[in-house]
């Protein structure tokens, strides 16, 4: 396992990424001063974003289903825990963008290669009730079946 976002697993069989880029900003607004350089005041952390990019080969990986799961998570508008495969907890994140580029098409229009990128933004939402919602959303997207009985599952 490379990383998990909620119950979505970035793995060699699902969505192996080749690049992970993280950008963390810090807020330092400036105040102009006459005859001197501007002064800066530290106001705390700013935006923290991650962009994950990779290539899916549907014969080996889950292909488009994988990206549909990410889109389903994004459409719920919830924050998800992001955990590296090493066990390092990176906080709670929302999916802000999912992009795909399909190439090398088969006769039926199915792509043999799918380039993808996923953008995440860190939020300070620590609501543990999100875990049940994440499981139901993932199952609904994967199977197309309403997973209502799983609402009683607690983690």
DSSP for 74-122 reads: HHHT--EEEEETTS-EEEEEEEEEEEEEEEEE-TTS-EEEEEEEEEEEE
> Quick one: pLDDT at residue 12?
87
Band (pLDDT 50/70/90 cuts) for residue 49 is very high
Band (pLDDT 50/70/90 cuts) for residue 117 is very high
> Quick one: pLDDT at residue 60?
87
Which residues, other chains included, contact 34 with Cβ-Cβ below 8 Å and sequence gap of 6+? Answer: none
> Quick one: pLDDT at residue 146?
36
Which has more pLDDT, 150 or 120? 120
Distance from C-alpha of 67 to C-alpha of 147, rounded to nearest angstrom: 20
Would you say residue 147 has pLDDT above 50? no
The residue written with tokens 């919830």 in the block is 78
Domain ranges of the chain: 3-25+45-141
Give CA separation, 127 vs 17, 55, 78, in Å. 28, 32, 10
Mean predicted confidence (pLDDT) in 70-98: 94
Band (pLDDT 50/70/90 cuts) for residue 33 is very high
> What burial letters (b/e) apply to 85-124, b meaning 16+ CB within 10 Å?
eeeeebebbbbeebebebeeeeeeeebeebebbbbbebee
Would you say residue 143 has pLDDT above 50? no
> Quick one: pLDDT at residue 154?
38
Matching CATH number, 3-25+45-141, of 2.60.40, 2.40.30, 2.30.29, 2.30.30: 2.40.30
pTM as predicted: 0.76
- The counts of H helices and E strands in the chain are 2, 9
41: left (phi over 0), alpha (psi -120 to 50) or beta: beta
């Amino acid at each position: 396992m490379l990383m998990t976002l909620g119950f979505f697993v970035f793995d060699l069989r699902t969505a192996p990424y080749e690049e992970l880029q993280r950008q963390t900003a810090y807020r330092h607004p400036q105040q102009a001063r006459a005859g001197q350089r501007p002064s800066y005041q530290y106001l705390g952390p700013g935006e923290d974003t991650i962009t994950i990019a990779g290539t899916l080969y549907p014969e080996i990986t889950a292909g488009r289903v994988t990206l549909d799961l990410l889109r389903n998570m994004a459409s719920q508008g919830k924050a998800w825990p992001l955990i590296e495969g090493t066990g390092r907890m990176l906080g709670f994140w929302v999916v802000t963008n999912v992009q795909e580029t399909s190439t090398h098409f088969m006769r039926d229009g199915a792509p043999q290669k799918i380039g993808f990128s996923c953008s995440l933004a860190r939020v300070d939402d620590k609501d543990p009730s999100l875990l049940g919602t994440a499981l139901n959303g993932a199952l609904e997207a994967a199977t197309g079946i309403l997973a209502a009985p799983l609402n009683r599952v607690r983690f």
